Structure 1
Amino acid sequence: MKEAAPPPWAAPGKLDTIGAWLLALLWILPLAYAVWTAFHPAEYSTRFALFAPLTLDNFRRAWEAAPFARYFLNTTLLVTMILGVQLVLATLAAYAFARYTFPGRGIAFALVLVQLMVMPDILLVENYKTMAHLGLVDSLVGIGLPYFASAFAIFLLRQTFLGIPKELDEAARVEGASALQTLWRVYVPLARPVYTAFGLVSVSFHWNNFLWPLIITNSVNARPLTVGLQVFSSVDQGVDWSVITAATLLTAAPLLVGFLLFQRQFVQSFMRAGIK
């Protein structure tokens, strides 16, 4: 007796597609609400009307309520500084772990892996004490210093460098290249997808990071966008969701625009880097 054929929606692969669409809908609903509320007057923040008037006044009010230009500058300088230092330090460390043999190499790399298992929030108090001792409280360097050495980047680049044939090293040495020249001209170009993938992760994380910048900063001079948003939650006359969502969209706009413009490159970089 033949088994009954499954319904069309339960065919192989269909359930995965349906699940993906449901998850996409779940993730896009808050964004859709934020866009609706930001572009409409405050009275439409809790109700839908087909022909509701559009307005940009919420963005003007949000921009005037906080020094967004300073916040944007601080955030851009912060993520650029952190990413630049991370790539330099991780490249040198990964190359040493992948191509050099030295006493304690296994223990040192194990300590790097242990760092991946430690939640950053556990170190908040000690990091603050260290920054206060160094006089770096309320500064961009104070925000970025705990993140300069990235165990994640070291691990990714080491695995990539291990997959590069050693014959390329030997060929470069025969041509008279030094160790740093070999690293720059051979290893770095071949690991470009990994650099791109990690750069996306780093910029996204530090653009959205909130807790540590909130703790370490005391003034507008060093506050990034995420911390600056809290000014909208301390309004004496109640919460204006239209202004809050407009400010949130201003904060998230660079990442959203960047993803929409370069989403193909993003996906290809992650696929080539093997990041799940």
Structure 2
Amino acid sequence: MFDMLETAGAWLLGILWVLPLLFALWTAFHPGAYAVRFDPAAPLTLENFASAWAAAPFPRYLLNTVALVTMILAGQLLLCTLAAYAFARFDFRGRQAAFLLVLLQLLLMPDALVVENYRSMHALGLVDSVAAMALPYMASAFGIFLLRQTFKTVPGELDDAARVEGAGTLGILWRVYVPLARPVYVAYGLVSISYHWNNFLWPLIITNSVTTRPLTVGLSVFASTDQGIDWSVITAATLMTAAPLLVAFLLFQRQFVQSFMRAGIR
């Protein structure tokens, strides 16, 4: 009985997820007159995608977004790995208090720090730059916690064996801990890329020019016309923005699920 309810719930969630996507596909590939009504005889068109592409510099927005998520992920992986390794394997004064501060950061919504982050970026002279969008997210409390819990499960005998082979502290981290935590890195990387690809509020506040805006902020161009919103065009633009993530998920969904399952088991 429980299995039947579980299957029914999974089907229901799947339908709820697919319906908006089907509506978006219908709206994007049909003229604006058919955006809010279903007509099997409605003609298919790619004009909405052409209009969306011409209305905004999508190549520039895409380049900014790729640079943003790459910069953030690289910084997070480096800083979170070093911090997690220190919390997991080193005994130093104030370790528990410092880790408690990291955990407390999980209770803070990023939006609550917008004002202070803006002041910091303004003081550094980085307003309206990709670096300003990335710097506040370079360190992740969730990433530190996740990797620290993973590193603590690594047997200490592996450290001793690596030292016998002549490996130093960073060598042990790179050759022992990082390879064993690969599933966790994959899971965290996918979450980080997805979140920052879709982030809107902070990039909207910190950027002022077309040359630095990411895709999410670029979409607001379609909602600021005097003629009102053309849902067919804006839906086409939304699909172009979400397409890389959708394709990546379809290609790597098995690795995505397996990585989270392994990360959860640890």
What is the TM-score normalised by the length of structure 2?
0.98
Residue type matched to 1:216 in 2? I
Residue type matched to 1:201 in 2? V
1:88 paired with 2:78, answer yes
Task: Tell me the equivalent position of 1:26.
Answer: 16
Query: Map of 1:87-106 to 2, 5 A cutoff?
Result: 87-106=77-96
Instruction: State how far apart, in whole Å, the 2-side matches of 1:249 and 1:46 are.
Output: 17
1:126 pairs, out of 116, 134, 137, with: 116
Instruction: State how far apart, in whole Å, the 2-side matches of 1:172 and 1:30 are.
Output: 52
RMSD: 1.1
Task: Tell me the equivalent position of 2:185.
Answer: 195
Residue type matched to 1:181 in 2? G
Instruction: State how far apart, in whole Å, the 1-side matches of 2:228 and 2:92 are.
Output: 62
TM-aligned CA deviation for residue 239 of structure 1: 1.1
Query: Map of 1:1-276 to 2, 5 A cutoff?
Result: 11-274=1-264
TM-aligned CA deviation for residue 12 of structure 1: 2.8
Deviates more, 1:100-109 or 1:24-33: 24-33
Deviations 1:102-159 (A, max 9, x none): 0000000000000011111111111111111110100011001110010111001000
TM-aligned CA deviation for residue 51 of structure 1: 2.6
Instruction: State how far apart, in whole Å, the 1-side matches of 2:43 and 2:258 are.
Output: 40
Deviations 1:40-63 (A, max 9, x none): 111110111113211111000000
Deviates more, 1:22-31 or 1:237-246: 22-31
TM-aligned CA deviation for residue 19 of structure 1: 1.8
Report the secondary structure of 1:22's partner residue. Answer: helix
Residue type matched to 1:70 in 2? R
TM-aligned CA deviation for residue 188 of structure 1: 0.3
Are the structure 2 counterparts of residues 203 and 52 from structure 1 closer, same or farther at C-alpha, using a change threshold of 3 Å? same
Task: Tell me the equivalent position of 1:5.
Answer: none
Question: Larger radius of gyration, structure 1 or 2?
Answer: 1
* Aligned-residue identity in percent: 72
Instruction: State how far apart, in whole Å, the 1-side matches of 2:6 and 2:172 are.
Output: 45
Task: Tell me the equivalent position of 1:3.
Answer: none
Report the secondary structure of 1:49's partner residue. Answer: coil
Residue type matched to 2:68 in 1? L
TM-aligned CA deviation for residue 275 of structure 1: 7.8
Gaps of 5+ in 2: none
In the TM superposition, structure 1's runs of 4+ consecutive aligned residues that sit over 3 Å from their partners are none
